[in-house]
Amino acid sequence: MSVPTAADATWIDQRDTLEAWLAELPADAALGVDTEFMRRNTFHPQLALLQLGWNGRYALVDPLAFDIGSALHPRLATGPTVTVMHSAGEDLEALAPLLPEGPGTLFDTQIAAAFVGMGLGLSYRALVAELAGAELDKGETRSDWLQRPLTESQRLYATLDVVYLEPVHAQLAARLAERGRTAWHAEDCERLKRRANTLEGDPQPQRSFRAASDWSHAQQALLRRILLWRDRSARTLDRPRSWLLEDALALDLAQNPPSSLADLDQRSRGQRALRSPQRAELFELIKPAPDAEEQAATAAIPAPVLGPAKKALAAMKDTVDRLAGELDLPAGLLCPRKVVEEYLVTREWPEFLEGWRREVLHGPLSGLLPD
């Protein structure tokens, strides 16, 4: 296929132009979609550009010029159109305000590549080189996509990000069908959509702080309270979580609560988004000790796996590796190590392992839980 130039992509900054461009697509089109967004000083990604590609036609849509969501929704959210994206998680998050449920049918080419034996986490550049024999220039990766007008180099870079999605989709879809993995891939794409469009954060964020696994349950509950506050406040203020509270400070405040507002002020200097109102709110939040109800609602932070559990973990990991080999799948796609640890520690079947993974793994792994 011939390589397009920046001029080959239609610049769209009006709703009727976008609607007309989309109207020319067949109902069941496999539409290549990509985004450019900025997330330097914000919690939420700032959508700066939407790229579309189908059958040699390309469009660069300016979301800063008009509300593109109402034009996109009828085409992408419903109907038989297949939205083809690569490593779509962050792109879906950037599109969430416009497509809260995500595209109706998502085909993620990175996930597909893993299912057909091309490796886990394959980059778009590597995938295009392998399947299309083209080399992509990534020179504009850190570009300012909110500037207007975009440079010719930016427009070409953005266009090329969707040029190869359609032919790559066709090859991967065929390979998935040959391996009988089409349904598994579709299930993982649906999971990705749900995760990317979740409006609330992790309800048990303290579980990621393994260093606090030996704390008392009351301290773990206070850490959870602080982390939930940080997440809510970061979303409301649209600032990075670390600007409110760095992880180390959150741990310190939970283990050694401030004795006064002045103490909190002293210990939290340098937190760029933690202004006086937020400091006062946080201090009042930390004051009460967690009661029995709050402690009961707090999931325990997983402790290091030791003794018989360590042997069970090794056996489970070996089982995952063996089954992944039999299925010709990356072990990390079938079941990441952290998910095995979660199951071993909590003895509750992880949500990640529902669906097709339950059929493959539940029997073998449940039989390895230590008494």
CATH number (domain holding residue 92) = 3.30.420.10
My answer on whether 20 and 80 are in the same domain is yes
Any domain includes 61: yes
Task: For residues 75 and 169, state if they share a domain.
Answer: yes
Contact status, residue 150 vs residue 68, Cβ threshold 8 Å: no
Q: List Cα–Cα distances, 268 to 50, 224, 227, 350, in angstroms.
A: 39, 18, 15, 36
Query: Which residues neighbour 323 within 8 Å (Cβ) at sequence distance 6 or greater?
Result: 334, 360, 361, 364
In-domain check, residue 301: no
Per the structure block, which two tokens stand in for 48?
């700066």
Q: Does residue 240 sit in the same domain as residue 183?
A: no
Regarding whether 209 and 192 lie in a shared domain, the answer is no
- Are 171 and 214 part of one and the same domain? no
In terms of domains, do 186 and 319 share one? no
pLDDT at 201: 83
Task: Catalogue the long-range contacts made by 241-250 (C-beta closer than 8 Å, 24 or more residues apart).
Answer: 241/43, 243/271, 243/272, 243/273, 243/274, 244/271, 244/273, 244/274, 244/278, 245/271, 245/274, 245/282, 246/271, 247/209, 250/223, 250/226
Q: Beta strands 9-12 and 57-61: pairing type? A: parallel
Q: In this structure, are 185 and 261 located in the same domain?
A: no
**pLDDT, mean of residues 317-328:** 97
24 band by pLDDT with thresholds 50, 70 and 90: very high
Q: Are residues 337 and 279 in the same domain?
A: no
Amino acid found at 295 = Q
Question: Quick check: 7 pLDDT over 70?
Answer: no
Q: How far is CA 182 from the centre of its chain?
A: 21
| Class of residue 296 by CB neighbours under 10 A (exposed 0-12, middle 13-18, buried 19+) | exposed
Residue 344: what pLDDT? 92
**pLDDT of 12 above 80:** yes
Residue with tokens 């707090």: 298
Average of per-residue pLDDT across 37-52: 94
Q: How many residues does the chain have?
A: 371
Q: Please compute the mean of the pLDDT values over residues 47-71 and round it to a whole number.
A: 96
* Cα dist from 198 to 93, 186, 195, 201, 309, whole Å: 9, 19, 5, 7, 33
Residue 303 confidence class, pLDDT cut points 50, 70, 90: confident
Distance between CA atoms of residues 156 and 58, nearest Å: 11
Q: Are residues 209 and 192 in the same domain?
A: no
Q: Quick one: which of 35, 20, 197 has its CA closest to 100?
A: 197
Residue 320 phi, psi (nearest 5): -60, -45
Please answer whether residues 299 and 348 qualify as being in contact, where contact means their C-beta atoms are separated by less than 8 angstroms: no
As a whole number, the mean pLDDT across the chain is 94
pLDDT number for residue 175: 98
Residue ending a domain, choose from 274, 296, 318: 296
The pLDDT, as a whole number, for residue 142 is 76
**Predicted local confidence at residue 107, as pLDDT:** 98
Q: What percent of the chain has pLDDT over 90?
A: 88
Which pLDDT score, from 0 to 100, does residue 312 have? 95
From CA 128, how far away is CA 190, in angstroms rounded?
Answer: 24
Residue 168 domain-assigned (yes or no): yes
**Domain contains 337:** yes
**The pLDDT of residue 300 is above 70:** yes
> What DSSP letter does each residue of 135-202 carry, written as one string?
----TTTT--TTSSSPPHHHHHHHHHHHHTHHHHHHHHHHHHHHHT-HHHHHHHHHHHHHHHT-SS--
pLDDT band at 6 (very low <50, low <70, confident <90, very high): low
CA dihedral sign, ordered 114, 118, 121, 125: negative
Q: What is the pTM of this model?
A: 0.91
Q: Are residues 237 and 356 in the same domain?
A: no
Regarding whether 227 and 148 lie in a shared domain, the answer is no
Q: What percent of the chain has pLDDT over 70?
A: 97
Provide the token pair at 348: 């509750």
Q: Give the structural domain span for 108.
A: 6-196
Question: For residue 89, is pLDDT > 60?
Answer: yes
pLDDT of residue 305: 84
Which pLDDT score is estimated for 137? 79
Same domain, 20 and 117: yes
In a domain, residue 302? The reply is: no
Report the number of distinct structural domains present in the chain.
Answer: 3
